[in-house]
Homo-oligomer: A and B are copies of this chain.
Amino acid sequence: MPRKIRSDVRAALRACRLWRTASDEAVDDLAGRATVRDVARGTVLATEGEAAGSFGVLVTGKARVYYLGADGRQITFEVVETGQPIAAVAAMAGSRYPANIETTTPATIAWLPQEALFDLLEREPRVARTIVSELAGRLVNFTAIVQTLALGVPSRLAGYLFQRVLSTGKPSARGLEVDLGMPKGELAVALGTVPETLSRAFSRLRDEGIVEIHGRRVTVLDVRALATMGSGFRE
């Protein structure tokens, strides 16, 4: 018998880019097979090396995909937002999780068995093209991550701020104002560094007249310089 489908779950699955060309019926089928779970901030959703039998979709909240180095250092690959899939790649590859995933806010996650996705592929072949494009696009983005890691911390910070400006920037008296979206300590980890170094990177951007810092809010005075630095060109 069909399980009752939560409307927020249906909406989240419907919003998922990965199968955006799927029919509503197919999405409802996915929703019907989902196991929904609410978890607290900081919950580990997947650990490296664990077999990937299922994947999830973030109904609410945010999560972070990171690799844990041998010495305990973390590298954040990706920040997952509401409506995006979790661990779907590992599930499709039929492999083990290559990284760890942790929620950075309280979150609601719809878990789906790996087979649900393959069933979808069988049922609606046109979805295949979407998924192929989507996966390939992510692969292309990955090279960008590698490039980013080759840059220094100030450049990575500039890149992050620039993204923030594009997505949530608001005009204010002196320039564009953005909120960091997380405590600086977390941001440091997300950028693959430590709070001290991040703090110095902020100081440098301030000294160069590119930004003004007011706690967690940042006023961008020179967007162009931010973009240039974020692409890796030296001052």
Name A's B-contacting residues (CB within 8 A).
Answer: 67, 69-71, 73, 75, 77, 89-95, 98-99, 118, 121-122, 125, 128-129, 131-133, 135-140, 142-147, 149-151, 231-234
Q: A89-B140, A140-B95 are in contact. Are A150 and B73 (CB under 8 A)?
A: yes
Tell me which of B70, B93, B133, B233 contacts A136 (CB under 8 A): B93
Q: A75-B150, A77-B146, A133-B94 are in contact. Are A232 and B89 (CB under 8 A)?
A: no
Whether B149 contacts A150 by the Cβ 8 Å rule is: yes
* This chain: copies in complex: 2
Residues of B within 8 A of A98 (CB): 140, 143-144
Residue of A67, A95, A139, A147 ringed by the most chain B CB atoms within 10 A: A139
Residue of B nearest to A94 (CB): B133
Q: Looking at chain A's contact residues, is the secondary structure mostly helix, strand, loop, or mixed?
A: helix
Whether A143 contacts B70 by the Cβ 8 Å rule is: no
A-B contact pairs, 18 of them (CB 8 A): A67-B146, A69-B232, A70-B233, A71-B234, A92-B133, A93-B133, A94-B137, A98-B143, A98-B144, A121-B125, A121-B128, A125-B125, A125-B128, A128-B132, A132-B132, A139-B142, A142-B146, A149-B150
A138 to chain B minimum Cβ distance, whole angstroms, is: 6
Residues of B within 8 A of A75 (CB): 146-147, 150
9 further A-B pairs in the complex, CB-CB below 8 A; given A70-B151, A146-B146: A70-B234, A90-B140, A95-B136, A98-B144, A118-B129, A121-B128, A128-B128, A139-B142, A142-B146
Residues of B within 8 A of A69 (CB): 147, 150, 232
A28 to chain B minimum Cβ distance, whole angstroms, is: 22
Residues of B within 8 A of A73 (CB): 150
Distance of A147 Cα from B75 Cα, bound (Å): 9
